[in-house]
Structure 1
Amino acid sequence: MTQPIILLILKALEGRGAERMVTTLAQAYITMDYSVHVLCLEDSQEMPLDPRIKKHIVPYYEVFAQQQLATASEQASAYKAVAERIDYYVLNQIGVPDLILANIYKVNWIMAYSKLPNIVNVLHTAVSRQFQHQLSDDAVQTIAHLKMVYGAHPCSCVSAGAHQDLLALIGQGLNKTTTIYNPCDVTAIKQAAVERVDIEKFGLTDKGYMIHVGSFDTMKGHHDLLQAYAKTARKLPLILVGKGKLESEIKQLAIQLSIDKCVKFLGFQTNPYPLIASAALMVLTSKFEGFGYVIVEAQALGVPVISTDCPFGPRELLPAKNLISVGDIDGLALLIDRAIENLTHYTVPLNQQLLPNHIAQQYLSFGSVLELKNNEH
């Protein structure tokens, strides 16, 4: 009897939330005795994979390089060509998957042209926020495009807020939709956290700092974080883990605010969990999120978390006392000081329904319902 095949598709195994979701789910399906495959469009890899999980690369750059993508139709033609290449590769090198999880908008767009069965689009963020500028420039054309992308296959959103956002924006024209939260592998996170880094080399002591983990881009709210931190009592240094296009700008802001001696930039960490586990407090300051992965990772390690009450994930993971409105710099500063004075008050246990086996089963159930529906028609 052949093993059922699970295929997870994404752009690359970089160190963001969607990639953590893919590697965690892949691991869960391996333990459930599935044949698990991860297919990437780029070969860069920052996230480790279990050697039992088969990794595949179907590059898309050369298809785009062959065409001048001056118009929308030319761009669509290029995406169709990538979809055809993926279909051919999967059928010849992997087989017919029992479930395909397509992650990230660019992959969702490509797979809208795929002829493979059992595809589920996984939406990791709020579509209205992701396409805010395009919607303000040309709402009709943007919504028509999004209907094409997300109407092609069933969609699962990683938070109820992101799900409602999708329905409100697109509504009619969607296939079946659901909410399935991102999985949190507590066992793996705790094991990774045990690999203690020498925090002294960073000038840190155990439980002697607060931490923010996230890429340096606008949505992560580093500007607000530093402005708020400058207004706190600064009883603990602020550690920033991540990389991105705004990093040098944020470093300059720390100097301008005269807090550069209290703020440390540690760059991207392949294994951030020892740093999270040793932190006194985790802070999330995003403008918007699909889920808010670092919240549940901190919860898994028993670390207190406070966050902006951004659309859409944090309010589904944290109580109101742990949240502050986006853009409320003074309120964030006050919340940071309060949390540091009473850390246990801001510790929130992890929802056990977020464990990987539960989430993996939800995708299988969603997929089997879809298969049943398809067979009925």
Structure 2
Amino acid sequence: MRIGFFLRDLKIEGVQVVTLRLAETLVKMGHQCELITLNRAQELELASGILHHSLDIEKRVSFKKSKQYVEQFLSCLNKLEHNSDPFDAIFSVHGETNDIISYIDNPKLIHCIHNSDEYTYNNKNWFNKIKFKRKLSTKIKNKHVVCVSNGIRDFVKAKTDGCALSVTTIYNPFDIEKIKQLSFEEPIYQLPQEYILFVGRLEEQKNIPLLLESISNMTTNIPLVIIGEGSLEADLKQQAIDLGINHKVLFFPFCLNPYPIIRQAKLLALTSVHEGLPTVLIEALILDTAVASTNCPTGPAEILIGKYKKYLIDSESPEKIALHIDGVLVTETQVNEQSVIQRFTANIIGQQYLDVIKKEV
């Protein structure tokens, strides 16, 4: 099959990383995969056999302006398919790219949702809730939709009254053996001997101020290492100073191989306002690293099942989060239930994507 992925860029961010991992998996399974990006920003390395095309749109694509880029996308598609096999399917994976394909009546353009809107929806007034439902229904009408968690799927179904052609859950793929192998390389940063870890964008969604407050309430004296970049970096550094913990909060930028850092951490912490399917939680479990995550919509509760459920925090109180993390850190034996992790194996997920194309498109 010829399979495309339509995404914003190739920066080191969660959606881009898992999309590239899926493309690599499908190539290994004998299929042709191509990436179409809005712009040429690239930090990720492409595996052999994956082609990259760009629309060279440097401006931010908002929903209101997305219609003006439809012709540009279709023109690119026509050039790629001219004198060549047509795409069997193109999976659109970012909000901006989903906005563009929403104007195109073609079931081969599949709408992928990587983040939950449940939290923001619940905080809207009744009028804005109606507007949200109409907007989402317009975007996915007569489209096949892939959601990365059951929580997202259930929310989308509940708010759109069956206007999509199909709504399916497919988890993000993980090359478990490769992740384990990469984790034994040397970390590129000089790190403390023991540390709590956060990996992610330094943006409001990740709610890092809550994590910093929680760290300040802990009895265990252990540093926090933050791997990430974003608009809140200066504010977070100031908050650490205000809380009197700046001496034990270390900031580092994203890196291509975070797995040695994750493997060596005493615990990986997540206090997000909302997620889709938080990749870093699964990566930590693959590497036998303890985790602590608030039970935000959506993803953590689907990942942390079975014996891993002890890592889930049903509270947004910094005092209770601190108590929970302290409790996990003093536990000598951490959970290892690899049967739970096998759900996310790359080949299983790759086959589920192929099944969507065969059955639905």
With normalisation by structure 2, the TM-score equals: 0.92
In structure 2, give the amino acid aligned to 1:8: F
2:167 maps to 177
Are positions 1:15 and 2:5 aligned together? no
Q: 1:24 to 1:284 in 2, by over 3 A?
A: same
209-218 or 339-348, which deviates more: 339-348
Q: Give SS of 2:73's match.
A: helix
CA-CA distance at 1:119 after TM superposition: 2.3
Identity, in percent, stands at 28
Q: Report the Cα distance in structure 2 between the residues aligned to 1:63 and 1:281, rounded to whole angstroms.
A: 36
Q: Report the Cα distance in structure 2 between the residues aligned to 1:211 and 1:184, rounded to whole angstroms.
A: 20
CA-CA distance at 1:198 after TM superposition: 5.2
Q: Give SS of 2:48's match.
A: coil
In structure 2, give the amino acid aligned to 1:285: T
Q: Report the Cα distance in structure 2 between the residues aligned to 1:343 and 1:328, rounded to whole angstroms.
A: 25
For 1:232-311, what aligned pairs fall within 5 Å after superposition? 232-311=218-297
Q: Give SS of 2:183's match.
A: helix
CA-CA distance at 1:97 after TM superposition: 1.1
150-159 or 256-265, which deviates more: 150-159
In structure 1, give the amino acid aligned to 2:87: P
Residue in structure 2 matching 1:231, options 214, 217, 222 = 217
Contact 1:43-1:57 within 8 A present in 2 as well: yes
For 1:345-364, what aligned pairs fall within 5 Å after superposition? 345-349=334-338, 350-364=340-354
For 1:1-377, what aligned pairs fall within 5 Å after superposition? 4-61=1-58, 72=64, 75=65, 77-92=67-82, 95-114=85-104, 118-129=108-119, 138-197=128-187, 199=189, 201-202=190-191, 204-205=192-193, 208-319=194-305, 320-342=309-331, 344-349=333-338, 350-371=340-361
CA-CA distance at 1:233 after TM superposition: 1.6
Q: Report the Cα distance in structure 1 between the residues aligned to 2:150 and 2:60, rounded to whole angstroms.
A: 36
Segments of structure 2 that go 5 or more residues without pairing to the other structure are: none
RMSD: 2.3
Q: Report the Cα distance in structure 1 between the residues aligned to 2:20 and 2:115, rounded to whole angstroms.
A: 18
Contact 1:100-1:118 within 8 A present in 2 as well: yes
Segments of structure 1 that go 5 or more residues without pairing to the other structure are: 372-377
Contact 1:126-1:162 within 8 A present in 2 as well: yes
How big is each residue's C-alpha offset from its partner over 1:283-315, in whole Å with a ceiling of 9 and x where there is no partner?
111111110110111111111111111111000
How big is each residue's C-alpha offset from its partner over 1:132-185, in whole Å with a ceiling of 9 and x where there is no partner?
677766333332221121124100110001111111122232221111111111
Q: 1:141 to 1:23 in 2, by over 3 A?
A: same
Q: How many correspondences in the alignment? A: 357
Contact 1:280-1:343 within 8 A present in 2 as well: no
